[in-house]
Structure 1
Amino acid sequence: MTPENNKLRRALNVPLLTLYGLGVTVGAGIYVLVGATAAEAGIYAPVSFVVAAIVVAFTAFSYAELSTRYPVSAGEAAYVEAGFSSGKLATLVGLAVALSGLVSAAAVSLGAASYLHVLTGAPTSILTVAVVCMMGLIALWGITQSVTVAAVITVIEVSGLVFVMVWGFGFADPSGIGLAEIVPPLTGAHWAGIGTASLLAFFAFVGFEDMANVAEEVKDPLHTMPRAIVGTLILATILYIGTTTAVLVAVPLVTLSNSAAPLSMVFSDAPVTIQQGFGIIAIVATVNGVLIQMIMASRVLYGLADRGHLPRQLGHVSPKTKTPDVATLAVVVAILLLALTFPIDALAERTSQIVLFVFVLVNTALIRIKLRGAASEKHFHVPLIVPVLGVATSVLLFATAFL
């Protein structure tokens, strides 16, 4: 373990942590998933996000308890180590979490570079390096500064979704469906499509778990972590349902289902300046994803090193900025290698499966911890049925990925 004066700084409160959670959860997913969910669920696409939110909620509440029991970096690794008493399994989980963040950040950095290429004409490879290095410098700046930057970007990103709702409901030509049509009948074949679409919608919620990896930098984790996790889930659900509904009202279903950029279609009849403005917001959203995943992955590596599972150099904390500088630099290099060398699309397809694998182990760890008896320290509590249902839903979703 690192000395007390070489520890991370507890500086995050509920608003900052919630914005961090929204930044990593509400990202590129909702900007591209609306068309895919509409292709499966049709006019009932908003319902698929409700179903996905219910499924995610079980694991989210498990994280809320575990993050107050063990408010440390590399949270998932700490939870699994406590539940299974296995350092090797904890290291595997921690590396899996870090890998998912690295792959996601690499893919998103390529997306941001592609958007920037359209605006500037500069080579995509150079823009990719610039984006990753710039986000790396912000991540090294300090946890308060970097999360504040991410929070500001998140506000812009969320404002873009609110803009979609305002324009879709109030200004766009209503070429889609009526609001009354969105509510599905209680029985019928349409529920099969809603179920399939819910699997897609689930991945738009993935990201809240990254909040556990900055728990060591949170003020009053006992009260802050549960509030921020639950708040993130509620706000993301509201944004997803509102955005999906607005797009369905404004855009014909056939057109929407075939679009790779569904939200931009809401502005198809809008002035050019508005279309360009929304395009800039989309760029900002992707850049934010790089920064937040970078923060998360570096904290995982730091946490594993701090507990002796990785080389101790990765546990070094800058005396000036109180950030894990060596781990952050390692993350920057890894993201650049992935973005410039490997087939990111193929790797990204496995990211969601990695996350579901981690969800199963984390929920199982909480079950084992609870069965051994309550911990002596004060922490947030959830009933045993919550992690049990978390395991069941995660296994189900993991299995469907192979069907």
Structure 2
Amino acid sequence: MTGSPPAAPARRLGTADAVVIGLGSMLGAGVFAAFAPAARAAGAGLLIALVLAAAVAYCNATSSARLAALHPESGGTYVYGRRRLGDFYGYLAGWGFVVGKTASCAAMALTVAAYAAPGAGRGVRTVVAVTAVAALTAANYRGIHRSALVTRVLVAVALVALVCVVAACLLGGQARAEHFAPFPGTGVRGVLEAAGLLFFAFAGYARIATLGEEVRDPRRTIPRAIPVALGITFAVYASVALATLAALGPGRLASATDPLAFAVERGGWSALAPVVRVGAVAAALGSLLALILGVSRTAFAMARDGHLPAALAALHPRFQVPHRAELAVGAVVAAVAASVDLRGAIGFSSFAVLVYYAIANASALTLRADEGPPPRAVPVLGLVGCVVLAVSLPLASVLSGAAVLAVGAAVWALRRGRRN
């Protein structure tokens, strides 16, 4: 008698839901958390860095979409690496994703706390961050469809706030053409570092690929949803970058802890600043919701394959979601959010996720003609771009990210040696 096939999550997401989940992942980190450190690295070159980050993200998205259509399973590049390159590369991608995106989750929780409790002490902000993680973990626990509905609301609120930012910056009287002058002391190295930091903002389209087992008709839905979500996000980011640079200039943008609200407060439309703060909280919550969703699905896939504790591969009998993986991820994120620095979390996450997408592009290079590969230049440029941006990040982020990946590789080698 053959064993029953492994349990799989229910397929409930359509194209619109998948796009919204991707937007919820991206419209939070970049606009409200990454612009200031990127401006510090590149000044007005932030605009060039944004284009570079988007170009690398497009290559990654195209490679990921083709792979996800062929391998519509939870886990994203963890699955593609295993199928196309071998177990080690799949494991390394999964390890990098889980670790890097756990840092991203913590960064988003801290962003929620910073905008929801401005001026509050560390203890209050920690309570707010942990509460946000707990609430959104509970939303995911109740089922993927409900998570998509919550994300729709949060994305809508964030978009309204960003429209207010652009209008207030351009029409409030503070915009100046001279603010686009080059920032002293920056060059190619600074632009590449800024692009690596801004890539953190675009990486949310991975949430769509990691939900491969919960999307209806994944061969059509995933390739459609990823570029749509990425294109909308780039248009929003470019508009906000132009507006905030015009209003503040690179120096003040680089030094602001809440640059979008700060830019609005300095002009004649300062009454919109509270709307921007509410939108920042909504955007960060939407990003956190989808991030927890993606990390838990990768943890679920790795547990199902024996790379993480088997208990994490359980599905809830009623909601058909990997509830133990979600609870475990939520607990770890809450602990990390209580102890990390926001900017350090962004750099560390960017390094790990760029490694993740380098493996995705390498996997796409193995696609045969009958498997519908992207033009060969796309995964080649994506692979090179990921490597260049990763090594251009701040040295502390590169060293810490490389160390954590090395630890993951050592764990894999030990486990393999024991099995052999």
Q: TM-score, normalised by structure 1?
A: 0.86
1:397 to 389, 395, 399: 389
* Aligned residue in 1 for 2:408: none
User: What amino acid does structure 2 have at the position aligned with 1:175?
Assistant: A
Shift of 1:200: 3.5
* Aligned residue in 2 for 1:94: 94
Report if the CA contact (8 A) 2:43-2:251 is conserved.
no
* Aligned residue in 2 for 1:116: 116
Shift of 1:155: 1.8
Aligned residue runs from structure 1 range 188-267, under 5 A: 194-267=191-264
Could you list the runs of 5+ residues in structure 2 that have no partner in the other structure?
Answer: 396-420
Aligned residue runs from structure 1 range 200-349, under 5 A: 200-268=197-265, 269-270=267-268, 273-341=271-339, 346=344, 348-349=346-347
Residues 51 and 349 of structure 1, relative CA distance in 2, 3 Å threshold:
closer
Question: Distance in 2 between the 1:37 and 1:348 partners?
Answer: 11
Question: Distance in 1 between the 2:104 and 2:245 partners?
Answer: 28
- Provide the alpha-carbon RMSD of the alignment: 2.9
Residues 214 and 126 of structure 1, relative CA distance in 2, 3 Å threshold:
same
* Aligned residue in 2 for 1:62: 63
CA distances 1:163-193 after superposition (whole Å, capped 9, x unpaired): 2122223x310432179x79x9xxxx97776
Report if the CA contact (8 A) 1:77-1:94 is conserved.
yes
Residues 200 and 5 of structure 1, relative CA distance in 2, 3 Å threshold:
closer
Question: Distance in 2 between the 1:330 and 1:311 partners?
Answer: 11
Question: Distance in 1 between the 2:345 and 2:33 partners?
Answer: 18
Question: Distance in 2 between the 1:75 and 1:354 partners?
Answer: 15
Report if the CA contact (8 A) 1:43-1:177 is conserved.
no
Residues 96 and 259 of structure 1, relative CA distance in 2, 3 Å threshold:
same
User: What amino acid does structure 2 have at the position aligned with 1:365?
Assistant: S
Residues 347 and 68 of structure 1, relative CA distance in 2, 3 Å threshold:
same
Residues 329 and 11 of structure 1, relative CA distance in 2, 3 Å threshold:
same
* Aligned residue in 2 for 1:352: 350
Task: Give the aligned length.
Answer: 389
1:383 to 375, 381, 399: 375
Q: Judge which range, 266-275 or 75-84, deviates more.
A: 266-275
Residues 113 and 374 of structure 1, relative CA distance in 2, 3 Å threshold:
same
Q: Judge which range, 234-243 or 110-119, deviates more.
A: 110-119
Question: Distance in 2 between the 1:5 and 1:28 partners?
Answer: 35
Report if the CA contact (8 A) 1:356-1:394 is conserved.
yes
Shift of 1:44: 5.0
Report if the CA contact (8 A) 1:177-1:252 is conserved.
no
Report if the CA contact (8 A) 2:154-2:282 is conserved.
yes
Question: Distance in 2 between the 1:270 and 1:349 partners?
Answer: 35
Q: Secondary structure at the match of 1:71?
A: coil
Q: Secondary structure at the match of 1:227?
A: helix
Question: Distance in 2 between the 1:391 and 1:91 partners?
Answer: 18
